[in-house]
Structure 1
Amino acid sequence: MSATSRHDPVFAAVDLGATSGRVITGGVGPDKLVLTEVYRFANTPVQLPGGLHWDVLALYQGMLHGLRAAALSGPVASVGIDTWAVDYGLLDSDGSLLGLPFHYRDGRNTAAAEEVLARCDAQELYEVGGLQHLPFNTVFQLAAHRSTAQWPAARTLLLMPDLLVYWLTGSVGAEVTNASTTGLFDARSGCWSDRLLGRLGLERSMFPALREPGVRAGTLLPHVAGFTGLPVETQVTTVASHDTASAVAAVPATEQGFAYVSCGTWSLAGLELDAPVLTEESRAANFTNERGVDGTVRYLRNIMGMWLLEECRRTWERAGTSTGLADLLAGAARARPFACVIDPDDPVFLAPGDMPSRIDAALIRTGQGTPDGPGGYVRCVLESLALAHRRTLREAAELAGRELTRIHLVGGGSRNELLCQWTADATGLPVTAGPAEATALGNVLLQARAHGLVGGLADMRGLVARTQELRHYTPQGDPGAWDRAAGRLTVRL
């Protein structure tokens, strides 16, 4: 890849994840797609007496410092922001934020989900919104929020990336790929659902006008320009602000029949479709229909991802145990295959805390032995994730009437060679791993497309395939061993 010239336009991607935020600059040309990380900062949730919150002011400040670093790398043509889904801030009538946004792992959501389902049953929610049932979906969080003193003053709801865009530009809007994760979006029409808002007693005026990826959100407010050193006319472009939607836009697929796994804190495993699948069978299988770029549908299921491994590592670090990832993976490679398996989607694994103990409890509850040392735990987690990928993608293909030819595994998990190989082995399908920076690439490419430097999804994906480092894995070993492990998992769930 050629280096970015000082005179080439630079696209600044603000990419906020569950544990850190980054500002990455990108240069785009006919056969060039170059990323440079210019700033990284921590994303540390805050436990307050009222619950677990995101420190959104620290995130905003980190973003501003990152944009100042980006300004030094070249003429910034635009800025795009992506984050995780479902979480939001409430603004009052003056446009001021009413408290810190709640974290989706806060424990308030389970009871709120029961309250919502008492007013609008699960079948209707799915028939309209098409979302996988997760207790932290925005629709359930709002039910919990309504009992707080903030609620009567709330006039506008902004999802996390839309809140940050508002603070940069003063412009209010709701980007569609993230709006589709709320449970208040009509999966067929692509609009806010007046039916669900009315049923749940939510004011339509709280929900801003929808924006598609690739449109201009606004330009920088003067004080933002002053702090960052960017010109006040710098454009903020609406990208696919749900990080998974940006990642899927950068999947380097050049063939039909591909599946994807966007693997980080969560594994998002699924297919790209032209229309939602809203059948009762799909609801029972807990698949979600979220918007992608250009009106596509991300038909997928959330799997509890590398969170399982990272929480194990944090527990071991607190206990003073060395937990270098390379050593852990080497130990996993040596550990006994299929000694034990867990369901990554068991709700007991959702909250922060002692993950090895929770894995032990789940294994004992299902009549299995516990892992032998850290390497055994890592092998249990990675084999279980590979089995979850297999189960999810096979079910998605059956429900959507698709035949799969290849899996594209993108995101940070694509660097994990064991996970990639075991996903190929478990599914019996070839796996293309990479790019690891799929989310940032999708963010940058959508900005570049808005500036006429790249074409539609096929052009974007072709550019990724030509310019990024990819690794290929073919199924190996005994397929029957994975079949038997999958059977054990199914029986034990």
Structure 2
Amino acid sequence: MVHIAVDIGASSGRLVVGEIKDGKMKIEEIHRFANGFTETEGILYWDIEHLLTEIVKGLATAKLLGYETCTVGIDTWAVDYVFIDKKGNRLQEVVSYRDKRTDKTIEKVTPTISKKLIYEKTGIQFLPFNTIYQLFEEDSELIKKTDKIMMVPDYLGYRLTGIAVTEVTNASTMQLLNVDKRHFDDDLLDIISVKKEQFADFAEPGQELGSLKKEWFPSYDLPDCKLITVASHDTASAVAGTPGIGEDWAYLSSGTWSLLGVELDKPVITQLSLKDNYTNEWGVFQTYRFLKNIMGMWIIQEVRRNLPEDYNYPKFVEEAKKVEHFQQFINFNDDRFLNPPNMVTEIQAYCKETSQPIPETAGEFAACIYDNMAIIYAIALSDLEEITGKKIDCLHIVGGGAHNELLNQLTANISGKTAYAGPTEATAIGNLLLQMIAANEVANLDEGRQLVHKSFDIKQYMPEFIDRNQLISRFREMIGKQFSL
């Protein structure tokens, strides 16, 4: 059986074909397309119709390549949503989580219900763009006209099959689900004037969604497709595709965002996890992704966009190796780096404000970014061990960031953990694994991870000697006494 992962991130999407041959998973990208938000009248929007069209084009490509039948699973980023009316029509453009409309919304909500109580109910970390805060800022009259609120991947599946669901791994990021009841929390829905009935029924990863309505796309010659509801939050798929074996490992899904955490059988909701802003997102097969959201490759992506001369990412690494490291200490999780007009000048302004050397060259910017990301990863790993009581011996780095050998080695050095990098396509692989499990080609997640381990190249990084404690202390000192990631 052939399976196709539709994997869409903030900057691009692709369709990846996967199947098991000779006891290994083989994958091939067959279609790639650009993604991004655009600004209209001061609001940042995704082009959801573009994404749908590109999915269909990719499926037509699959048919041209000779794939007559297949299963399909869709994963995207989290928190963003679509409003549809009773006729199934979309009511507005899809606002991007990077829009500034929710910058101060947490402060508007918490006088009504405390952060402590929200966290006890949901176990989800506080981020200004969580769905609860986006919906709080929505037009109340528009919400009244809405029949169903769908997360982005659920909407795309709906447009292909006509069947609406609320997939749980993505839904958990809304900060609206009660972790004990495993359903929407009535108190939180009341705050945003939304009803439970405005969401479709829950679907678990691995559940069949429905068949592709080929007749809805008469301009394309499409294969016979059965859609599977996979872990539609891309991080959930990436964790599913992480080749961790045993219980002493953590994961780092390294892409536009860095998601660093451990997989648990039950949530951890304590004063310390609240203080350190760790989240309990729902994972596959009733697991929890206890993790920290850390600003990721977005920083270097934006620096690349803002520098006058174009550098590819291997060139950034090459240039970073030429300069002196650990000259600046910056908490890139600060909200000021979420979506500044110019990342280059924002970093320079931060360094000037804190009386640190100001980076000027591409190598200095890259070293500054990679150094601080590695320090933040190391601190987050230490916090994970303290909060969970779980000893972590190794870190599995997956996603596009696993290509960055310099950052991987820095992370191993400063954390003191052995790092394993790969596979870089963990999100698509996890998406495919869920389809393979649904098709009874793979027995369970453990067997699937063993399959991943033997199917893809994984590079090991052993910690090298470095005064990691001094670096971390210096970082904390520069960030301030009220340090928090």
Matched residue, 1:449: 437
Query: Partner amino acid for 1:146?
Result: D
Query: Partner amino acid for 1:398?
Result: E
SS at match of 1:12: strand
SS at match of 2:311: coil
Report 1:347-386 matches (<5 A).
Answer: 347-386=335-374
Partners of 2:21 and 2:265 in 1: how far apart? 29
- Cα distance per residue 1:304-336 (max 9 Å; x no partner): 0000001000001xx3x1313222211101110
Q: Does 1:218 align with 2:219?
A: no
Shift of 1:28: 2.1
Q: Does 1:80 align with 2:73?
A: yes
Matched residue, 2:172: 180
1:264 aligns with one of 252, 255, 277: 255
Partners of 2:426 and 2:276 in 1: how far apart? 27
Matched residue, 1:290: 281
Report the count of equivalent residues.
Answer: 478
Matched residue, 1:111: 104
Q: Is the 8 A contact 1:266 1:303 kept in 2?
A: yes
Shift of 1:31: 1.6
Matched residue, 1:280: 271
SS at match of 2:174: coil
Q: Does 1:151 align with 2:143?
A: yes
Partners of 1:44 and 1:297 in 2: how far apart? 29
Matched residue, 1:6: none
Q: Does 1:248 align with 2:239?
A: yes
Give the superposed CA RMSD: 1.5
Matched residue, 2:301: 310
Q: Is the 8 A contact 2:169 2:283 kept in 1?
A: yes
Percentage of identical aligned residues: 38
Partners of 2:175 and 2:196 in 1: how far apart? 14
Q: Is the 8 A contact 1:53 1:100 kept in 2?
A: yes
Partners of 2:4 and 2:220 in 1: how far apart? 12
Shift of 1:220: 1.2
Shift of 1:361: 1.5
Shift of 1:124: 1.2
Output the TM-score relative to the length of structure 1. Answer: 0.94
SS at match of 1:150: helix
Query: Partner amino acid for 1:310?
Result: Q
Matched residue, 1:138: 131
Question: Unaligned stretches of 5+ in structure 2?
Answer: 480-485
Query: Partner amino acid for 1:386?
Result: A
Output the TM-score relative to the length of structure 2. Answer: 0.96
Matched residue, 1:202: 194
Change (3 A) 1:331 1:99: same
Partners of 2:352 and 2:48 in 1: how far apart? 39
Partners of 2:115 and 2:317 in 1: how far apart? 41
2:380 aligns with one of 392, 399, 414: 392
Partners of 1:476 and 1:380 in 2: how far apart? 19
Shift of 1:199: 4.5
- Cα distance per residue 1:372-400 (max 9 Å; x no partner): 41101100100111111111111012101
Matched residue, 1:328: 316
Q: Is the 8 A contact 2:63 2:223 kept in 1?
A: no
Question: Unaligned stretches of 5+ in structure 1?
Answer: 1-8
Partners of 1:422 and 1:157 in 2: how far apart? 42
Q: Is the 8 A contact 2:44 2:98 kept in 1?
A: yes
Q: Is the 8 A contact 2:136 2:191 kept in 1?
A: no
- Cα distance per residue 1:449-470 (max 9 Å; x no partner): 1000002111010000001011
Matched residue, 2:86: 93
Query: Partner amino acid for 1:462?
Result: Q
Partners of 1:64 and 1:250 in 2: how far apart? 25
* Worse overlay, 322-331 or 376-385: 322-331
Query: Partner amino acid for 2:228?
Result: T
1:67 aligns with one of 55, 59, 67: 59
Matched residue, 2:222: 230
